Structures are given as C-alpha cells and as structure tokens.
C-alpha cells in the first residue's frame, strides 16, 4: 500500500450516510449482492465485499465485510468482462454468460486470481444498497481482522 491516507472507509460511521462507493461489481447474487468488488470514489481504493449476515430482509438490509485488494482489481475484471458485455455503474451485476465454456473458464480464473489477493476484512458495513446509502460502518476489530477474507472454493 503506497497510499495510507485516511478515507471514509478507515473510520466508523454510526449514522446513515451517502455511499462513498462509485463502482460496485457484483460477482455473486443471492436475492441481492452476495460478493464482488467495490471501489471508493474518493481514494479509489478497491475492496472485496462479501455478505456476512442478513440484518433485515424486509428492508433488504445486509451486513458486508470489506477486504482490501490491489487498486487495479476492478479495472482488470472490467477489462476481461467488457469484451462480452457493457459495464453499468455505479452498480453492475454482469450476466455470467460467455460464447464458449473456455472463455468462461478464462474469466473465472482471472476473477479467482484477483479475489485471492484480498487481505483481512477491514470494514463492516450495513446497507440495503452499497452504491447509495450506508446505514452504518464499523472498522473491523482486531480479532476479526486476523481472519483472511477469501472466497470459498466453488
Ligand atoms: Zn476511500
């Protein structure tokens, strides 16, 4: 990490605030976003986000953990996917359909490689829409941060 300057996602936010995230790339869906890549619009840091818990399904409120990724992670994923479909921001849930099985496997392995770089969870957010409003955000406590956030093997 060359840029250690503090930003929105390095501090606690106990009250609802407008989301600082300008790119949400959804890679897993379960009645809503389950996991993917997310970028802060201010500092351009990129994180892996993963559904941790359901807070209130009636309101669509979910708890997500964010783990830092290299800054070019979203760009690399978008570059691979945009050969087959058009990105849509601030939130994009690409349809995982490719002309051939080989192309799908190529994209899958690229995405797996990107996600494998995720560090420990540094921020936990409650939200019904990652790109619009964050209800609450807490920096991850140390014992939580000690657990590496890696995607489960598919
Ligand atoms: Zn930021």
pLDDT tens digits, one per residue of 54-78? 999 899 999 999 999 999 999 999 9
Nearest-angstrom CA–CA distance, 21 and 147: 24
CA of 10 to the centre of ligand 1 (A): 8
If one counts the domains in the chain, the total is 1
Whether 45 is in a domain gets the answer yes
Whether 128 is in a domain gets the answer yes
| Amino acid 143: pLDDT | 54
Strands (E), the chain: 17-18, 21-29, 33-40, 46-56, 61-69, 91-92, 123-129, 133-139
Name the pLDDT band for 145 (thresholds 50, 70, 90).
Answer: very low
| Amino acid 115: pLDDT | 97
CA of 105 to the centre of ligand 1 (A): 32
| Amino acid 152: pLDDT | 55
**Hey, is 121 helix, strand or coil?**
coil
For 86, the token pair is 């058009």
More confident call, 74 vs 145? 74
CA of 68 to the centre of ligand 1 (A): 11
Give the residue numbers spanning the domain of 61.
12-145
> Angle at Cα 27 formed by Cα 25 and Cα 30, nearest 5°?
115
CA of 2 to the centre of ligand 1 (A): 14
CA of 143 to the centre of ligand 1 (A): 23
Mean model confidence pLDDT for the chain: 91
Whether 106 is in a domain gets the answer yes
| Amino acid 151: pLDDT | 54
Q: Is the pTM of this model over 0.85?
A: yes
CA distances in angstroms from 37 to 1, 29, 114, listed in the order given: 18, 13, 10
CA of 3 to the centre of ligand 1 (A): 10
**Hey, is 93 helix, strand or coil?**
coil
CA of 55 to the centre of ligand 1 (A): 24
Whether 153 is in a domain gets the answer no
């Amino acid at each position: 990490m060359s840029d250690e300057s503090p930003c929105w996602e390095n501090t606690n936010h106990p009250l609802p605030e407008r989301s600082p995230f300008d790119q949400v790339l959804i890679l897993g869906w379960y009645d809503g976003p389950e996991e993917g890549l997310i970028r802060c619009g201010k500092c351009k840091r990129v994180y892996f986000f993963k559904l941790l818990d359901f807070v209130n399904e009636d309101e669509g409120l979910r708890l997500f953990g964010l783990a830092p990724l290299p800054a070019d992670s979203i760009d690399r994923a978008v570059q691979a996917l945009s050969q087959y479909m058009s990105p849509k921001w601030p939130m994009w849930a690409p349809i995982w359909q490719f002309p051939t099985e080989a192309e799908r496997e190529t994209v899958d392995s690229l995405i797996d490689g990107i996600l494998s770089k995720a560090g420990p969870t540094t921020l936990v957010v409650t939200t019904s829409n990652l790109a619009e409003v964050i209800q609450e955000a807490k920096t991850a406590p140390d014992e939580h941060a000690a657990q590496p956030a890696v995607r489960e093997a598919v």
